[in-house]
Structure 1
Amino acid sequence: MKSTHRVSVRALVLKDNSVLLVRHAHQDRPPFWCFPGGLVEENEDLLFAVRRELVEETGISVEPLSVVALQEFRKEKLLEVIFLCNYTGGTVSLGSDPDNSGPPVLVDARWVPIETLGSFQVHPAELIPHLIEYGGKIGAGRFFSVSSKYSMIQNLAGEV
């Protein structure tokens, strides 16, 4: 069977009422902030991929807890799986994004206080109001579906 989508993983990491973000600066679009992550490599499971991507991009270690959101990019044929992760160690340092060639794509990595998220252009934007509303207390039972085409988010299950 032929694969229809590539898969990427992202990590929603919370620590001390802050969330870990990385800033991307691509040549063909405006800079933006997002949760760290990237493409799942061949013969790699999703949990291993999210751990590896966090070390590559930020230098920290995490333990994935559960999937909290899915995002489909239909034009790019990409499915993005966003995991809620426990921070387990390390100091944030700017790493690299080997999935994107050209000039440095990652230009910043930092802990951002949740109450200031409204002043950042973060993708997926639909998830940010929920982070602010719950004050960073999103539990493993909460799941969101993010559709980039329709720019909507649905709370599908669970309570905080």
Structure 2
Amino acid sequence: MHHRISVGALVIRDQCLLLAHHVVPGKYDFWAPPGGGVEGDEELSAAAERETFEETGIRITAHRLAYIDELIDDSGRMVKFWYLADYVSGEINTHANPALEEAITEATWFPQTSLPPGHIFPAILRDAFWYELATGFPAPKKLPLLKSIF
């Protein structure tokens, strides 16, 4: 079984969460915070910062582990580390991503009350995340093992 280490950035700016829209017609359509695979000897937080810039053009500082997520599908198992991150600079630009296989059609800042319809990954972003954000995430939270939507 193939294993992959991945990261994601939960970036908040002006009470809004940064989400990227991933679409391959007939295959998947979901929103998720920026993130992706860890490369070589890269630190997890540095990978979250790099992936956020590559996917959205936004510079961040990843500072605190919020969630540990596990996904499994026919290709293997992925463990994803979600970091809370501070916005540093930049404006959204999804066209400069060097990953040719990416299917990001847009990225946007969403307040809790106006999250997009459809699938959001991870699902906890629809509810408990906002409470945990307000209470300061006392410790990283392990999310349940799920089958990937891909």
User: Same fold per TM (> 0.5)?
Assistant: yes
Q: Any idea what the Cα deviations from partners look like across 1:3-47, whole Å, max 9, x if unmatched?
A: 962101100011111100000013552310001011001121112
State which of 6, 9, 13 in structure 2 corresponds to 1:8. 6
Kept after mapping to 1: 8 A contact 2:46/2:62: no
Kept after mapping to 2: 8 A contact 1:114/1:131: no
Using a 3 Å threshold, how does the CA distance of structure 1 residues 29 and 142 change in structure 2: closer, same or farther?
farther
Q: TM-score, normalised by structure 2?
A: 0.83
Q: Share of identical aligned residues, percent?
A: 28
Letter in 2 for 1:66: R
Q: Hey, what does 2:92 align to over in structure 1?
A: 92
* 2:79 is aligned with 1:82: no
CA RMSD of aligned residues (A): 2.5
SS in 2 for 1:12: strand
SS in 2 for 1:62: strand
Aligned length in residues: 145
Instruction: Name whichever of 19-28 and 106-115 sits farther off.
Output: 19-28
Letter in 1 for 2:10: L
Q: Hey, what does 2:142 align to over in structure 1?
A: 145
* Structure 2 counterparts to residues 82-121 of structure 1, below 5 A: 82-95=82-95, 96=97, 98=99, 101=101, 105-117=103-115, 119-121=117-119
Runs of 4+ aligned structure 1 residues displaced above 4 Å come to: none
Ranges in structure 2 where 5+ consecutive residues have no aligned partner: none
Q: TM-score, normalised by structure 1?
A: 0.78
Using a 3 Å threshold, how does the CA distance of structure 1 residues 25 and 148 change in structure 2: closer, same or farther?
farther
Kept after mapping to 2: 8 A contact 1:114/1:135: no
Letter in 1 for 2:138: G
SS in 1 for 2:70: strand
Separation of aligned partners in 2, 1:120 and 1:97: 27
Which has the higher relative contact order, 1 or 2, with Cα contacts under 8 A spaced 6 or more apart? 2
SS in 2 for 1:43: coil
The structure with more strand, counted as a fraction of residues: 2
